[in-house]
Structures are given as C-alpha cells and as structure tokens.
Chain A
Amino acid sequence: MKAILTGNEAAAWGARLSRPKVIAAYPITPQTSIIETIAAFIANGEMDARYIRVESEHSAMAACIAAQNTGVRTYTATSAHGLALMHEVLMWASGARLPIVMSVVNRAMAPPWSVWTDQLDTMAERDSGWIQVYTQNNQEVLDSIIMSYKIAEKHNILLPTMVIEDAFILSHTSEGVDIPEQKKVDDFLGEYEPAFKLDPDEPAGFGSLIMPEGPYMEFRYKMALAMEDARSEIRKVVEEYNQVFGREYAPFVEEYKTEDADAVMVVIGTIGSTAKDVVDRMREKGKKVGVARVRYFRPFPAEELRKIAKGAKMIGVVDRSYSFGPGADLFAETKSVLYGHADIPVKNYVMGLGGRDITPRIIEKVFDDMLSVAKDGVVDKEVEWVGLQGDERWS
C-alpha cells in the first residue's frame, strides 16, 4: 500500500507492522508524533499492544526492559534529552541482552535549547551496547524497524537496536512510502521467541551480582562477540528483506559513485541525499567525487570503509555532531579503522549542528576542499568546522 507519511508516521507504521506487545513511551519534540500515531492505532483497534504512558524516558526504557524480560516484544521512541535520561538503563537493556527496538529522532542537546537535528544524542550512546542504524528517508525508517527486530531477536545476537532518523528533515517531512502487507511482515518476522524469560516455573535471578573473579568479563566478551556476529546477520536479513519486499538497501554502507572517485565523502543520515545530488552536478563538471553513506554505526563498517578507501585519494568525513575528542565520532572511528590499511589523508568536516541547514552549496564547497586535499596529498587542518557565522569560505 502506498501512502504519504512523515518519518515519524513511517516509524509508527514500522512498529505497528512488527506487532510489539508492550510499548512504553514519553513525549519529546521531535519524537512526539511517533507515539501519538501509535496511540491512535491502538485507540482504533488497529494495533494490539499494551501502551504504558510512563512519566519519563528513564521509566519508558525500564518498563520495556522488564516487559521484554518477561517474554514479549517491545518498542519505544525518544530524542536527545530523553535518550540522555535513559543512559543508565540503555546499558541495562544491552547487558541484559534484550532485543528491544527503539526509534531515536536525532535532536541537539541543550543548552541552548534546540529541537533541531544534530547527532550528538545518539553518538553519545555509541558505547551503550546497542546496534545503531541511521536512516536517510522515510521508507528506510519503516523498513529498518522491521529488519531490526529480526536481527536483534536472533539468539546469537540479542542486542537492542536504535533506528535513527534526523529531526524534521525526516520526522516531520512527508514522502511517498510503501507500507508492506501485514501478512508478509508476519511471515518475515515470525513469532517472537525469547531466549529466556521470567517464569514462575523456572525460578532464576536475572542480572545478579558478580565478583571480579566471576564471569563479568566473559559476559561482556559475549556482547562483543554478538556485535561482531551481527555483521553477518545484518547482511543476511537485509538481503532477505530486499528480496521479499523489493528494496535495494546496502547492508552497511550505501555507496554512490565511489568506484573511481578521488575524494569520497563519508556521511551519516539525511546528508547522504543532498550529497548524492551534489555529486551528480560535480561529475558533470568532471570532478571525481563520490559519497559513502554509513547506515550502521554499530557494528561499525570497518571492512566496507577500508574497501572504499582503497581506490580513493582522500576521505572527507562529515559529522553532524562533535565529540571533543580527536574530531567527531564518525571521523575518529573512520580514521581509526583506516589506519594501517589506507595511507591517504582523512579530514573531518563538522557541520549542521543544532539543525543548521546543510545546503548543496556548502556540500559542494566541502567537496572542492576535499579535492584540493586529494591533490596535495596532505591535510591542512584535520578538523574543520564548516559554516561558522562570519566564515566566508563556505557561504
């Protein structure tokens, strides 16, 4: 069924089609319309789920953890401050190995207050043990939720998953979306089979104390293995989904004209769409540029990026967040996986913070800068903040 949906409506549809039994959620701009749409689905009898209208995001995640541990599929959604408030229990969900699926609508962190897109909120949770998939359009939002349940629920994975969309650019913008048939989704996902559950017939304590000589470290190692195993499961599930539902998702990195590119821009989220248009325009002028849009930030697509770097003369990494470390997160991790594999310059472009518009014109200027780095073979300035007020270079 074709429909015109905002990103948030698409997220609500993704949840609806996946048939979670318990939903616990708390409103925050720009996530709110996800949970309102779901409330309407339930009120109309279109969705059979218990909806816990919790008093905070911390409780939303805690209730999902408890419900999932009791043996049912769960769903929640949040943004920025809500995600930050969840931080403690995000770690709990992954450590408890509960395949919860959550939508996160990227929003800037305050102060100053800003409800617009910025990826610091999810980047700050990169070490929470959650799988993270970033989307580029509303169709991908919907599809990724369904795929995420299937991947996360595999008994060799059991890691919760964030399906991430940019605020407003996706969340509140309408696009044509193909809503898959319920029957097809049911067949694709199957009944939820918990790997373990709270059961009065099998008394057990979930999450008890472990001494340093106990297997704490081993349980963490098992999580690391699961995140590694997720690579092959993601590949399989994405392929299957493409086949069943007629899509063309690349599992980890969506490449656009990278094969013969001198300068490849590595991006995440909706910047990908803008960048692709700019690439077309620049190619017409004979400039050899390409885009690699990272979908999964966790697990991090190390092999894929190394392969891309093999043919390129330089890599420019665009981050819509800043981490106060050696550059922003996507840059730092890209550079670290390339180390020892590709001896080419890597430069970080920090832009679009707090929802500042990333225009084709700015992207083109960044590409030009990248091409000059490719030509010189050296990075003049490793971390470049692009588009600061008063800086004429980018306008």
Chain B
Amino acid sequence: MSVLLPEDPTPIAKVPSTENKTGGWRTFRPVIHYEKCIRCYICWKFCPDAAIYFASPDAHAAPKEALSKFDTVEINYDFCKGCGICANECPAKAIELVLEESAEGDEE
C-alpha cells in the first residue's frame, strides 16, 4: 500500500505565507505619486499586510532636494490587498486608489 503521509507526526506549519500571493484579492490599487511623497513612511508603518517596503533614495524622483537622500517606499503588489489605509493615512495625499482593471490598463 502506498499512501502519501506527511512526514511530521502532527501539523507543523513551516512554509512562509509569502507563497500566498494575496495581491489577487485587490479591487483598488494604491498608486504612489512620487512627486508628492515626502518619505515620511507613515504608509509603511500602518500597512496591515506588510506590503510596503523601502527602496533606494534614487529609485524615484523626490519632490524636494532635501528629501532625496532618504529612502523611498514602494508597494509590493504581490501582497497588497488594496485596503486603502496607506492612502487614507498619507499626510501628503500622495497615494491614489484606482480601480484595479483600469490600473492594469494604465500600466503597460
């Protein structure tokens, strides 16, 4: 008899959930308008999906010279569920929520 049995005696979950691409849940896509972004990281701070990460200062143009030495932020669309907290909390109103289909159309 060859049945497929798990190796562990009891469920021991070891595989990082980053295998699970929750970006597919999105209805609205947050889009950062970098020309407004003051690199305050408030969006990073509040994201419930840990989907905002830091990028090198020159990855995007800064609105002001003084800001250009600071890291910038990017959204990982593999995981962002589009809750809109980042857009709601952004003090510079630099994040816009756009409907996912039209966002995709815009991209390429």
Q: Which residues of A contact B (CB under 8 A)?
A: 95-97, 155, 158, 195-196, 202-208, 210, 215, 218-219, 221-222, 226
User: In the assembled complex, which residues on chain A have CB atoms less than 8 Å from the CB atom of B12?
Assistant: 196, 204-206
What separation, in Å, do the CA atoms of A204 and B13 have in the docked complex?
5
What separation, in Å, do the CA atoms of A221 and B58 have in the docked complex?
56
Q: Is the CB of B6 within 8 A of A96?
A: no
Q: Is the CB of B11 within 8 A of A219?
A: yes
Q: Is the CB of B13 within 8 A of A95?
A: no
What separation, in Å, do the CA atoms of A204 and B11 have in the docked complex?
10
Q: Is the CB of B9 within 8 A of A218?
A: no
User: In the assembled complex, which residues on chain B have CB atoms less than 8 Å from the CB atom of A206?
Assistant: 10-13
Interface residues of B in 3-24 (CB under 8 A from A): 3-6, 8-14
Interface residues of B in 31-53 (CB under 8 A from A): none
- Could you tell me how many residues of chain B have their Cβ less than 8 Å away from some Cβ of chain A? 11
User: In the assembled complex, which residues on chain B have CB atoms less than 8 Å from the CB atom of A205?
Assistant: 11-14
Q: Is the CB of B9 within 8 A of A97?
A: yes
Q: Is the CB of B11 within 8 A of A195?
A: no
A218: contacting residue among B6, B13, B14, CB under 8 A:
B6
Q: Is the CB of B5 within 8 A of A222?
A: yes
B9: contacting residue among A202, A208, A222, CB under 8 A:
A222
In the complex, residue of chain A having the shortest beta-carbon distance to the beta carbon of B12: A204
What separation, in Å, do the CA atoms of A203 and B11 have in the docked complex?
13
18 pairs, A vs B, C-beta closer than 8 Å = A97-B9, A155-B9, A195-B9, A196-B9, A196-B10, A196-B12, A203-B14, A204-B12, A204-B13, A205-B12, A205-B13, A205-B14, A207-B10, A208-B11, A215-B11, A218-B4, A219-B10, A219-B11
What separation, in Å, do the CA atoms of A196 and B3 have in the docked complex?
24
Given A218-B3, A218-B4, A221-B3, verify A204-B14 contact (CB < 8 Å): yes
User: In the assembled complex, which residues on chain B have CB atoms less than 8 Å from the CB atom of A97?
Assistant: 9-10
Q: Is the CB of A207 within 8 A of B11?
A: yes
Q: How far is the CB of A223 from chain B (nearest CB, A)?
A: 8
Q: Is the CB of B6 within 8 A of A222?
A: yes
Q: Is the CB of B13 within 8 A of A219?
A: no
Q: Is the CB of B5 within 8 A of A96?
A: no
User: In the assembled complex, which residues on chain A have CB atoms less than 8 Å from the CB atom of B9?
Assistant: 97, 155, 158, 195-196, 219, 222, 226
Q: How far is the CB of A153 from chain B (nearest CB, A)?
A: 12
Task: Give 5 closest A-B pairs by Cβ, nearest first.
Answer: A205-B13, A97-B9, A97-B10, A208-B13, A204-B14
User: In the assembled complex, which residues on chain B have CB atoms less than 8 Å from the CB atom of A218?
Assistant: 3-6
Q: How far is the CB of A201 from chain B (nearest CB, A)?
A: 12
User: In the assembled complex, which residues on chain A have CB atoms less than 8 Å from the CB atom of B8?
Assistant: 196
In the complex, residue of chain B having the shortest beta-carbon distance to the beta carbon of A203: B14
What separation, in Å, do the CA atoms of A226 and B9 have in the docked complex?
9
6 new A-B contacts, CB < 8 A, other than A196-B8, A221-B5, A226-B9, are A97-B10, A196-B12, A204-B13, A205-B14, A221-B3, A222-B5
User: In the assembled complex, which residues on chain A have CB atoms less than 8 Å from the CB atom of B13?
Assistant: 204-206, 208
Q: How far is the CB of A395 from chain B (nearest CB, A)?
A: 52
- Choose among B3, B13, B14 the residue with the greatest number of A CB atoms under 10 Å from its CB: B13
User: In the assembled complex, which residues on chain A have CB atoms less than 8 Å from the CB atom of B3?
Assistant: 218, 221
User: In the assembled complex, which residues on chain B have CB atoms less than 8 Å from the CB atom of A96?
Assistant: 10
Q: Is the CB of B14 within 8 A of A219?
A: no
Q: How far is the CB of B56 from chain A (nearest CB, A)?
A: 29
In the complex, residue of chain A having the shortest beta-carbon distance to the beta carbon of B17: A205
Q: How far is the CB of A388 from chain B (nearest CB, A)?
A: 46
